[in-house]
Amino acid sequence: MSATEVVFYIISFVMVAGGLGVVLSRNIVHSALALIMSLGAVAGIYVILTVEFLALAQLVVYGGAVIMLMLFALMLTRARERPQALFGKNRPVALAVAGGLLTAFVAGILGTEWAQSNRDEIEPVPFEEIGDVLFSVWAVPFEVVSVVLVIAMAGAILLSQPDEGER
Amino acid sequence: MYWLDHAYVIPAIPAIAFFVLFALGKWLPRGGDWLSIIAIGTSFVLFFFVLEAHLDSVNAGLGGLSNVGFDWLEFEGFKLRIGFTVDSIAVVMLAVVTLVALLVQVYSVSYMRHHGKPEPRYWWYFAVHSLFVAAMLALVLADNFLLLYVAWEGVGLCSFLLIGFYFEKQSAVEAAKKAFVTTRLGDVGLLIGIILFWRATGTFQISEVIAAAQAGRTNELAPVMSDGYLTLATLMVFLGAMGKSAQFPFHVWLPDAMEGPTPVSALIHAATMVVAGVYLVARLLPLFDVTPGALQVVTGVGLTTALFAGVLAVVQTDIKRVLAYSTVSQLGFMFVALGTGAVGVAMFHLLTHAFFKALLFLGSGSVIHMTGEQDARKLGGLWWRMPVTAATFTIGALALAGIPPLSGFFSKDEIFVVVNAGQSDVILILMGVAAFLSAMYMARLVIITFLGSPKDLAVIRRAREAPPLMVAPLVILAVLTLFVGFFAFDQVGDAFGFPGGINNYVYFPLPESFHFDDTIAAATGVASLAGLGAAFWLFWGKAERAQRVAAFAPKATALVENKFYMDDVYQAAIDRVVLPAGRAVAVFDRVVVNDTGINGPGDFTRYGSTWLRRHVTGRIPDYALFMVLGIVAAGALGFLVRV
Amino acid sequence: MPDLVLSEFAGVSLPDWIDALIRIVFVVALMTVNALALIYLERKVLARFHQRVGPTRTGPFGMLQSAADAVKLLTKEDVRPASADRWVFELAPYFAFVPIFLVFIPIPWTETWVVRDLELGFLFVFGVLGLNLVGVVMAGWGSDNKYALLGAVRAAAQAISYELPMLLVSVAVVMVVSARLLVDNGSTLGAVDLNVIALEQTTTPFIILQPLGFAIFMIGMLAELHRPPFDMPIAESEVVGGYFVEYSGIRWSFFFLAEYTALLLLVMIASVVFLGGWNFPFGEDVGLGLQLVLTLAKAGALIFILFWSRAMLPRLRIDQLMSFSWKVLLPFSILQVLANAIILTYDGDEWIVGVTSLALLVLLSALVYVRAKMLARGAERSIHKQPARPRLITAQDVTSGD
Amino acid sequence: MPPLENVLVVSAILFSIGVYGVLTRRNAVNILMSVELMLNAVSINMVAFAVYGRVAFDNTFTGIIFAFFIVVVAAAEVALALGIVVRLFRNRATANVDEVNLLKW
């Protein structure tokens, strides 16, 4: 068991813990912070999978923007001022569903014979190659995604405009 | 010949007029009365074309019959044909209906307005008038039971609407309801009869039905209808005729129908409503003839009605009621004639009666319109106030009384002739009594209305001669009343002599055509004059003799004045039998049909949905849960399928 | 790139973990010293700008002043508001501090003095810098205080909005670098590596080629560091002290540590990226010492500019700040990127790049000047106008809701 | 490098946690967080496949590209969704999805 593997297990433990924090914590802001932890751990997993560029993008987008947006939303919606039940009624069902999904996944994963599971062949992925592929093979989806982003920005601006009579 | 095959245009024109008036009569100038009158006038003019074509075909020996139509519905092995037939009685009826309706409408134009201002629903009055005429004409021309029944009901509906024209008055509403329900009793009978005939013969064509009946009667090899069946069906049809023509048990609605405007009464009594029954029996007379006992029933009913209504007419004090009962009894005469098998005679009396009854009603209408009073006891001495009305009214009265040489005399004399030939002497005597009574009540009416001394000065002071639009129809009708009787003689060969002429091409020719029987003519004349004399003896002046006679037999008087308690009997029947049965039916309807049959499924759906819709909580988490469950199920399915 | 700097420096080779330990200690010590020094320097410089003398009592020229402050802070009681969210409140300083700490990793002090030479160093800097916002927001929200919350929200907002132009101009720079790399050694490998970027500026520092980029980077730096004229998040007069109002003692000093370390590091990055870092005038073959001196000198010059701006410029309004970023800086940086892309794609010479960028910069400053004039003219009108601030829900809103 | 199975299992765990959160949480923002968890789990999966299966997929790093796109789309989605949440809070003064039950009969 190599050092990276140990680090991987540690990071994945952090990730799962963060996820559990997101789902279980009584305080919404706490769960947001837990989400940061979890996503950072995801970035760490990317690093371990030798995709640093993706990891950094993850950090920039999530750690920078998404989490800030979420915290803003929490502030704007007064998550703290109104203490209330954070969980809906259908907890047991959800638990059952999630557990069933998990068992199904794990069964499927462990039940399958993975061709590439041999860990010695893995060499780090240079991000230049990723860039080449992204802008050659995936150029059109890239443009489409940029359009999607523009549309989303317009929509967000429109939505967050104050109503008439405000201001 | 063209118009012989296109006689259906005659009812079509007033029908179109009705729809136009119905749609936009309110906005037409003068309420569209001109439209309705023009329609009827056109029909009247067309009648002459039809008559000419008819006579041509008769003289050409084609029998003057025409039968055009179109297939309305077509089923498996069953074709429903809407057809129009023209024969002599139809032609006579066309004449009567169109002419009388035209005059009545002209009359109505000024009757339905007071001091030049039309009454409310003026346009509606004329619209229904047009529909009434159209329905009657369609009934006349119908050659199959179905169209006839539709027109029949249309006539009933229009009479209902017109009798209840002043539906602000409770009595008018009651009268309309009474007329409708009473005639409905008969109509149900008619419908049953039609259905029975259809069941037996599988057709609605009147001629085919008659042929089948005759075949069933004549040759025993292929009996179509058993005697009982035939009798039942025929009597059911006759029930309808009785209802419409206000024969004995059903006569109660006609006097109350006086609640409507007087021109409407004229139309109903003279041209359209009540004569429909007579016309029906006349058209179906072959059927009655082959039915054992049917003719006797017709005779009996007619005779009873004639006497009964005559007696009642003597004691009535309301002008219009007197006229109503006189109509009833005259219809009785016609039925007696029909019962004797003399279609031509009956139609002839129908014709003359139409004219002088219309005349009488319009005259009384002008009296009522001018004085606003229709109680004979308050009237009197109007002769010099409204001479034309009085004169024409008297002419009509004398004609009804059967005074020679007015038209009534001839037609009634015809009836006596055929009765003498075809029935027992008892019936003849009783008919004489009826004639005596009719002369008596008409004379009484004239005496207490126009002659004698005025009893109510206010009424007298109000009385003026009617406006020309009302007087003109009176005069025309008076002239007709004077001269139409001479149709009886056959001047122009066999064709034009009226009764014989008709008899030549109704379904079976009566042996004798008109011939002037001295003894009978003398007898009827004596009877009528006796009636006149009795009336004068009783009612001239203060009429104390009448009171003494009444006091002589108080019970009988009370009986007569209460119309033999017929209305009470009906009322009792309705209260005791009809309403409880109706309540029972209503309970059944509400409980079984409505709550279970109709609300049941609705309630089931509603409660089911209230229970079912709980899964639509509107809470997004639940939807998410359902979504995930669905995805999981799909995945599991895929997994199972793959493995 | 060589990793074991110490082995070169002191000629001894050590096991990895000791090496790492030594580096950490070195970095932490450097941060502390740097913070103390910068505080002292700032006070002195500001005093000079204000015609004052600044700290004189403690130590020669008052040099020990900030040391005394540090002692005071360390010994001060650590207060936590009762209603504060315990964990968030106490962890916030570290979350604010650690990312800055991480930024140290890819910075080349000299050609070989790098904690860890990351292939994606430049991007790494931004990715990690963004994270300290988390600490800021945690602090603002955790200490149950309206002003703290406002300060944190302001900090987050302006950080996010100024990160974008900075990233974009950096991208522009990286484009130039990769163009040069293509010319030099065929592949664009390592174009995001800070050390490579420094290495590519032997002849011309990128401030010549990307003046607009430099300007925008400096402005964004001011905003990221909450320094005047962009210090709304910590403005005493508006939000009393901002997101660390409730902090005191050692935790408060952590925030300060983070501030000044970030100051140093960003300035270092600016000097490396735009001023050529250790490389520019003399190239690679001068000794370590001279390279270090060069880097620090450039950094010091930039730091002085920052102090100067603090003394010179008045504070903006928060809405002006936001709209300046989104409506002016972002479009211009995008223009810069587009211009570079077009020029470099068609193998334009570098001076064209520089001229375009300069033109853009001139245009930008002209715009700002005209706008400022207009604002000054319509000042009394605009006073009555409310600033467009993020709409917080009022109490009656909430109560009326349910 | 850890074996592929472990990476997949970890991502599966994260995904299930996200599902649980989506199903149980009431606050809309919180649900969004759970959705983010799920998205990240998915992208971990893809990256893992892309990295481990490089040779099999002859260097068209499809999974990694997809991870990029997922990040971008997630950013867009979060921006829009949070806008919606804020708008919702303005109108209904609540961000709890189960208090907004107008979506029914």
Query: Is A148 a member of any domain?
Result: no
In a domain, C12, yes or no: yes
Q: Model confidence at B496, in pLDDT bands (50, 70, 90)?
A: very low
Is C389 inside a domain boundary? no
Sign of CA dihedral C160, C274, C186, A122: negative
Give the gyration radius of chain B's Cα atoms: 30
What CATH number is associated with residue A67?
Answer: 1.20.120.1200
Contact B117, B62 (CB under 8 A): no
Find, among B107, B100, B194, B199, the residue nearest to B151 by Cα: B194
Over residues B237-287, the pLDDT tens digits come to 999 999 888 888 888 888 888 888 888 888 888 888 888 899 998 888 888
Q: Is residue C119, in this structure, part of any structural domain at all? A: yes
Q: At residue D80, does pLDDT exceed 70?
A: yes
Neighbouring C-beta atoms of residue B368, cutoff 10 Å: 18
pLDDT band at B625 (very low <50, low <70, confident <90, very high): confident
Q: What is residue C2's predicted lDDT score, i.e. its pLDDT?
A: 40
Closest by Cβ to A63, choosing from C130, C144, C388? C130
Q: Give me the sign of the Cα torsion angle D77, D83, D84, D85.
A: positive
Tell me the C-alpha distance between C263 and B93, whole Å.
120
Cβ <8 Å between D94 and C400: no
Do C256 and C177 reside in the same domain of the chain? Answer: yes
Cα distance from B594 to chain D (closest Cα, Å)? 28
pLDDT in tens, B145-180: 888 999 999 999 999 999 988 888 888 898 898 888
Query: Rounded to a whole number, what is the distance in Å from the CA of B596 to chain D's nearest CA?
Result: 27
Residue C273: inside a domain: yes
Contact C140, C85 (CB under 8 A): no
**Same domain, yes or no, for C61 and C106?**
no
Contact C162, C223 (CB under 8 A): yes
Residues C44 and C177 in one domain: no
Residue A144 within any structural domain of the chain: no
Least reliable range by pLDDT among B120-134, B480-494, C41-55, C264-278: B480-494
Q: What is the pLDDT of residue B510?
A: 44
Q: Quick check: B643 pLDDT over 70? A: no
Supply the pLDDT for residue B508: 40
Contacts of residue C401, Cβ cutoff 8 Å, sequence gap at least 6: D92, D93, D94
Q: Would you call D42 an interface residue with chain B, using a CB distance cutoff of 8 Å?
A: no
Q: Give the distance, in angstroms, between the CA of residue B270 and the centroid of all CA atoms in the same chain.
A: 9
> Which residues form the domain of C43?
1-75
Q: Which residue of C has its CA nearest to A57?
A: C127
- Is A137 a member of any domain? no
Total CB pairs under 8 A between chain A and C: 85
Residues of D in contact with C393 (CB under 8 A): 89-90, 93
Q: Determine, yes or no, domain membership for C388.
A: no
Same domain, C279 and C333: yes
* Contact flag D23-B620 (C-beta cutoff 8 Å): no
Q: Are strands B113-114 and B117-118 parallel, antiparallel or unpaired?
A: antiparallel
pLDDT in the model for residue B64: 62
Label each residue of B84-97 as H, E or C: EEECHHHHHHHHHH
The DSSP string of A82-114 is S----B-S-HHHHHHHHHHHHHHHHHHHHHS--
> What's the CA gap between C102 and C124, in Å, rounded?
9
pLDDT band at B135, cuts 50/70/90? very high
pLDDT, residue A18, reads 92
D61 touches C at CB < 8 Å: no
Residue where one domain finishes, among candidates C48, C75, C102:
C75
pLDDT at residue C393 in the model: 56
- Provide the 8-state DSSP code for B466: P
* Residue with tokens 């031509």, as numbered in its chain: B344
Exposure of B282 in the CB half-sphere (CA atoms within 13 A): 32
Q: What's the total number of domains in chain C?
A: 2
- Selected for mutation to probe chain B from A90, A91, A112 (highest B CB count within 10 Å) is A90
SS3 B575: helix
Residues C42 and C148 in one domain: no
Q: Which DSSP symbol is given to B142?
A: B
The answer to which of B154-168, B371-385, B463-477 has the lowest mean pLDDT is B371-385
In this structure, are residues B400 and B357 in contact, taking their beta carbons and an 8 Å threshold?
Answer: yes
Give domain status of residue A69, yes or no.
yes
- Return the residue in B617, B622, B623, B643 with the most chain A beta carbons within 10 A, the one to mutate for interface testing: B622
Contact state of A104 with B625 under an 8 Å Cβ cutoff = no
Residue C131 shares a structural domain with residue C14: no
- pLDDT at residue B221, as a whole number: 45
Residue B223 has pLDDT above 70, yes or no: no
A114 within a domain of the structure (yes/no) = yes
Q: What three-state secondary structure class fits A12?
A: helix
Confidence at residue C401, expressed as pLDDT on a 0 to 100 scale: 43
Question: In terms of domains, do C70 and C115 share one?
Answer: no
The range of the structural domain enclosing residue A20 comes to 3-80+92-124
Mapped to the 3 state alphabet, what secondary structure does B248-299 carry? HHHCCHHHHHHHCCHHHHHHHHHHCHHHHHHHHHHHCHHHHHHCCCHHHHHH
Asked if the structure places residue A37 within a domain, the reply is yes
Phi, then psi, of D25 in degrees rounded to 5: -65, 150
In this prediction, residue B536 has a pLDDT band, given cuts at 50, 70 and 90, of confident
D neighbour chains, 3+ CB pairs within 8 Å: A, B, C
Nearest CA to C152 out of C244, C247, C56 is that of C244
CA distances for D41 relative to C164, D57, D61, angstroms:
27, 21, 18
Nearest Cα neighbor of B483 from B498, B470, B466, B471 is B498
Nearest chain D alpha carbon to C397: D93
User: What pLDDT was estimated at residue A86?
Assistant: 61
Task: Examine the domain organization and report whether C2 and C91 are in the same domain.
Answer: no
- Does the pLDDT value for residue B459 go beyond 90? no
- Domain membership of residue C381 (yes or no) is no
pLDDT at position B509 is 40
Is pLDDT of B305 > 50? yes
Q: What is the C-alpha separation between C245 and B202, in angstroms, rounded?
A: 107
User: What CA–CA distances, in Å, run from B286 to B63, B215, B345, B357, B421?
Assistant: 17, 12, 15, 28, 19
How high is the pLDDT of residue A165?
60
In 3D, which of C271, C301, C220 has the Cα closest to residue C110? Answer: C271
Name the residue among A56, A68, A76 with its Cβ closest to that of C133: A68
Report helix, strand or coil for B32.
helix
Say if residue D42's pLDDT is above 50: yes
Question: Do C156 and C9 share a structural domain?
Answer: no
Residue to substitute from D25, D43, D44, D92, interface A, most A β-carbons within 10 A: D25
Q: What pLDDT, on the 0 to 100 scale, is given for residue D16?
A: 92
pLDDT of residue A11: 93
Residue-level pLDDT at C131:
84
**Total residues belonging to chain A:** 167
The predicted structure's pLDDT at residue C109 = 85
Kind and range of the H or E element at B174? helix B170-201
Q: Are C212 and C92 within one domain?
A: yes
* Number of domains present in the structure of chain A: 1
Q: Do chains C and B touch, with touching meaning 3 or more CB–CB pairs less than 8 Å apart?
A: no
**Region B332-336 average pLDDT:** 90
Q: Is C146 in the same domain as C209?
A: yes
pLDDT tens per residue, range B589-603: 888 888 888 888 888
Contact assignment for B621 to A90 by CB distance below 8 Å:
yes
Is the bond leading into B511 cis (omega within 30 degrees of zero)? no
Within 8 A of A114 by CB-CB distance, chain D residues are: 4-5, 52
Q: With residue B395 as reference, give the H or E element that holds it.
A: helix B387-401
D90 touches chain C (CB under 8 A): yes
In a domain, A68, yes or no: yes
pLDDT at C359: 93
> Cα separation of B610 and B93, whole Å?
65
Q: Are C105 and C59 within one domain?
A: no
Residues of chain C with pLDDT under 70: 1-13, 379-402
With beta carbons under 8 A apart, name residues in chain D contacting C391.
90
Contact D104 B617 (CB under 8 A): yes
Task: Please write down the HEC assignment for all residues of C88-144.
Answer: HHHHHHHHHHHHHHHHCCCCECCCCCECCCCCCHHHHHHHHHHHHHHHHHHHHHHCC
Dist CA A74 CA C142 (whole Å)? 13
Peptide bond into C281 cis (omega under 30): no
Name the CA dihedral angle for B288, B342, B349, B185, rounded to a multiple of 10 degrees.
-10
- Over residues B410-447, the pLDDT tens digits come to 888 878 888 887 778 888 888 888 888 888 888 888 88
**CB-side neighbour CA atoms (13 Å) of B455:** 16
Interface of C with D in 359-388 (CB under 8 A): none
> Per mean pLDDT, which range of B358-367, B489-498, C157-166 is the poorest?
B489-498
Please give the interface size between A and D, counted as residue pairs whose CB atoms are below 8 Å apart: 254
Find the range with the poorest average confidence among A147-151, B483-487, B571-575, C110-114: B483-487
Cβ–Cβ gap D10/A125 under 8 Å = no
Is D24 in Cβ contact with B618 (below 8 Å)? no
The 8 Å CB, 24+ separation contacts for A90-94 are A90/B621, A90/B622, A90/B625, A90/D23, A90/D24, A91/D24, A93/B625, A93/D23, A94/B625, A94/D19, A94/D20, A94/D23, A94/D24
Contact check, Cβ <8 Å, D98/B620: yes
Domain boundary among C75, C109, C126: C75
B618–D23 C-beta distance less than 8 A: no
* Cross-strand bridge partners of residue C114: C108
Per-residue pLDDT averaged across B211-230, rounded?
67
> What secondary structure does DSSP assign to chain D, as a single string?
---HHHHHHHHHHHHHHHHHHHHHB-BHHHHHHHHHHHHHHHHHHHHHHHHHTTTTTTT--HHHHHHHHHHHHHHHHHHHHHHHHHHHHHHHS--BTTT---S--
Which one is predicted more confidently, B182 or B496?
B182
Does the pTM exceed 0.80?
A: no
Spell out the domains of chain D, with CATH numbers in brackets: 4-94 (1.10.287.3510)
- Please answer whether residues D39 and A38 qualify as being in contact, where contact means their C-beta atoms are separated by less than 8 angstroms: no
Of A88, A97, A104, the CB nearest to B629: A97
Identify the domain boundary among C75, C110, C127.
C75
Question: By CB neighbour count within 10 A (0-12 exposed, 13-18 middle, 19+ buried), where does B138 fall?
Answer: buried
